[in-house]
A and B are shown apart, each in its own frame.
Chain A
Amino acid sequence: MADETSTPSAPSTPRPEGSGPGGPGGRPAGGRPAGPGGGGRKFFRRKKVCKFCVEKIDAIHYRDVRLLQQFVAERGKIVPRRLTGVCTTHQRGLARAIKQARNIALLPFAARY
């Protein structure tokens, strides 16, 4: 938490980070262009896995902004499960944590442009 204070441009960083951590996840970025296209059969698509199940993150806490930011789109929307591959149980907790974080101004309700 303390090292996040060192980044002075917090509201501007979510934008690159919002698209960036989609990349480390691999699945969200990979699934997004293929999803609307619909041509799922032709291309090999890796099976999406729930980050929280795989990394055994039990508690999704509203305070760890770094974690939550990976599941928030550029404009501040919660990314749907079909894009991120998060399981139902964890998506529920995640949504709750994101909403709590929005309330205490750790995450934006809607990012300005």
Chain B
Amino acid sequence: MQRTYEIMFIVRPDILDEDLDKLIAGLEANITQGGGTIKSTEKLGRRKLAYTVKKFNDGNYVLFTIHADGSLVGEIERRLRVSEPVIKFISVRMDEEEKRVAKIKAIRATRKKLSAQPAATPAAPVEPAAAPAPATEAASA
């Protein structure tokens, strides 16, 4: 069962750029070999942490959006836990949330159409009703 996940992790700040790229490439290779597909990889750059993690006060954030099995995500998590430069990670399942949002958007789109239609109709009958009224007055006078 393939599902969409987001895996975000923090790499220690004193890592060199090429080592970081190597680490990301290694993880990407792991994901593709395990039968998953990578939707996007984002390096969010260096950011200050909200609290101290392993005596570090800032870290390099990396975000993966992947399409994979639950077991593969477990495997990636294990690798992240083992790999020394990674100080923190989180994996979040996204597909149900995406489905929910898509549903809301679809509902909203249908509602807009309904509200647009009745607004056009009441304007038409006003003009013929207004026209005969002065005509009758003129005739009686």
Contacts and interface: CB of A to CB of B under 8 A. Distances in A.
Interface of A: 1-2, 4-5, 7-11, 14, 56, 58-59, 62-63, 100, 102-109
B8 A58 contact: no
Given A5-B46, A104-B88, 15 more contacts: A5-B45, A7-B48, A9-B48, A10-B47, A10-B48, A58-B101, A59-B97, A62-B90, A102-B50, A104-B89, A105-B51, A105-B59, A107-B50, A109-B50, A109-B51
Given A59-B97, A59-B101, A62-B92, A106 B45 contact: no
Contacts of A100: 90, 92
B46 to A, nearest CB: 6
7 nearest A-B residue pairs (beta carbon): A10-B48, A108-B50, A105-B49, A104-B90, A58-B101, A5-B45, A5-B47
A9 B101 CA distance: 34
Interface in B9-64: 10, 44-51, 53, 59, 63
Nearest to B49: A105
Interface residues of B, number: 24
Contacts, number: 55
Contacts of B92: 62, 100
A80 B98 CA distance: 26
A2 B45 contact: yes
Contact of A104 (B10, B98, B108): B10
24 contacts: A1-B44, A2-B44, A2-B45, A5-B45, A5-B46, A11-B48, A14-B50, A58-B105, A59-B97, A59-B98, A59-B101, A62-B90, A63-B8, A63-B63, A103-B90, A104-B8, A104-B10, A104-B90, A105-B49, A105-B50, A105-B53, A107-B50, A108-B50, A109-B51
